[in-house]
A and B are shown apart, each in its own frame.
Chain A
Amino acid sequence: MGKRAQSILLVFAAGTAAWVLLMLHSVLIPFVPVPQYLDEIAPVLPLWLLVAFGAYSLASIGYALVTFGDCPEAYMSLLKEINEAKTDLKRRGVQID
């Protein structure tokens, strides 16, 4: 495994540990005060992250797709050049079929 895979794994493990700590804070760290809204969002946090990443992926692929550049003029000029090339190549004794 390379360095990148290791650091991704590390981040994932750290995130999971932090989430477990948050979920079980009343048992694991009862002396630390945790605001109530964190208790409310904690259970859905992993799902939320997953959905957010999915939405980001779809949005960026979709945007890239919509803005995909076309170049019809490059095609037209290529066709012209192909003809020019064929004529000259025949003159030079290259077989064109």
Chain B
Amino acid sequence: MAPKGQHKYSVLLPTYNERENLPIITWMLVKAFKDNELDFEIIIIDDASPDGTLEIAKQLQAAFGADRIVLRPRAGKLGLGTAYIHGIEHATGDYVFIMDADMSHHPKFIPDFIKKQKEGNFDVVTGTRYALGGGVHGWDLRRKLTSRVANFLADTLLTPGVSDLTGSFRLYKKPVLEAMIRATKSKGYVFQMEMMVRARQMNFTIGEVPITFVDRVFGESKLGAAEIVGYLKGLITLAMDI
């Protein structure tokens, strides 16, 4: 494979109990990058998943090569925010994709992100489920309502000018991501929102591309009462801070 252009894309893939999803998302990522003749690496940050995700990751590394699949495991479940920091420390690309490993984010949109980024030389390109051409599959009314209320509150309190604040499928220029992570204090769901708010404050430019989101086919999503309370607390803390 002869990579076109001089850019390299690092994908940060945090995993916790994604034994079933990780091989398939990795396969789809490799396919998307190879089909589009792009240089890439996939950095898997596994937090000692009890289901043995790391073992599968090692098999993937053997199958696709250590230059393509980079393993950055950690000894315990330390959370998503620090997982990104840990992953980016070893990223060799000049651009970084952040996405979930549960196949809710489909690698087929990667060329759209890259095209958008080039169009406006954007610092950040964020995937939106709430624009024409986007959508969500597999959510019941309660889950949809939760998402809409969460977005409405965040929109009203933070006015970030991004249509899908809680989404987390994004492309960043690497130094921009580093600066944004350093400025971000929240954890959990608010982390992704704060990243966008800080991006605006730091005058980074943000582009949006529509994406479809298919709720996880394998495994359980973790949205419960505790996450909702955590979200509201985090949102208020953030609104007071900006």
Cβ of B1: which chain A residues have Cβ within 8 Å of it?
Answer: none
Nearest Cβ on chain B to A31's Cβ, whole angstroms: 40
Contact of B106 with A by CB under 8 A: yes
Do residues B20 and A89 form an inter-chain contact, with CB atoms below 8 A? no
Do residues B24 and A82 form an inter-chain contact, with CB atoms below 8 A? yes
Give the nearest-CB partner of B155 in chain A.
A60
Cβ of B137: which chain A residues have Cβ within 8 Å of it?
Answer: 70-72, 74-75
Q: Per-position contact with B for A71-83: 1 when CB-CB < 8 Å, else 0?
A: 1101100110110
Given A61-B152, A74-B137, A86-B24, decide whether A5 and B240 contact each other with a Cβ distance below 8 A: yes
Contact of A1 with B by CB under 8 A: yes
Measured in the bound complex, the distance between the Cα atoms of B64 and A37 in whole Å is 77
Measured in the bound complex, the distance between the Cα atoms of B131 and A16 in whole Å is 38
Inter-chain residue pair count (beta carbon < 8 A): 91
Contact of A17 with B by CB under 8 A: no
Measured in the bound complex, the distance between the Cα atoms of B241 and A3 in whole Å is 8
Given A71-B212, A74-B212, decide whether A57 and B152 contact each other with a Cβ distance below 8 A: yes
Do residues B63 and A94 form an inter-chain contact, with CB atoms below 8 A? yes
Do residues A94 and B60 form an inter-chain contact, with CB atoms below 8 A? yes
Measured in the bound complex, the distance between the Cα atoms of B242 and A95 in whole Å is 48
Contact of A33 with B by CB under 8 A: no
Nearest Cβ on chain B to A88's Cβ, whole angstroms: 7
Given A1-B240, A74-B214, decide whether A85 and B152 contact each other with a Cβ distance below 8 A: no
Contact of A97 with B by CB under 8 A: yes
Do residues B214 and A75 form an inter-chain contact, with CB atoms below 8 A? yes
Contact of B188 with A by CB under 8 A: no
Do residues B129 and A75 form an inter-chain contact, with CB atoms below 8 A? no
Contact of A64 with B by CB under 8 A: yes
Give the nearest-CB partner of B63 in chain A.
A92
Do residues A79 and B28 form an inter-chain contact, with CB atoms below 8 A? no
Do residues A68 and B63 form an inter-chain contact, with CB atoms below 8 A? no
Contact of B36 with A by CB under 8 A: no
Nearest Cβ on chain A to B211's Cβ, whole angstroms: 9
Give the nearest-CB partner of A3 in chain B.
B242
Measured in the bound complex, the distance between the Cα atoms of B22 and A96 in whole Å is 10
Contact of B182 with A by CB under 8 A: no
Do residues B144 and A65 form an inter-chain contact, with CB atoms below 8 A? yes
Measured in the bound complex, the distance between the Cα atoms of B146 and A64 in whole Å is 12
Nearest Cβ on chain B to A57's Cβ, whole angstroms: 7
Do residues A93 and B242 form an inter-chain contact, with CB atoms below 8 A? no
Q: Per-position contact with A for B136-147: 1 when CB-CB < 8 Å, else 0?
A: 111001001100
Closest 6 CB pairs of A and B: A69-B135, A71-B135, A74-B212, A92-B63, A71-B212, A85-B27
Residues of A within 8 A of B (CB): 1-5, 57, 60-61, 64-65, 68-72, 74-75, 78-79, 81-82, 85-86, 88-89, 92-97
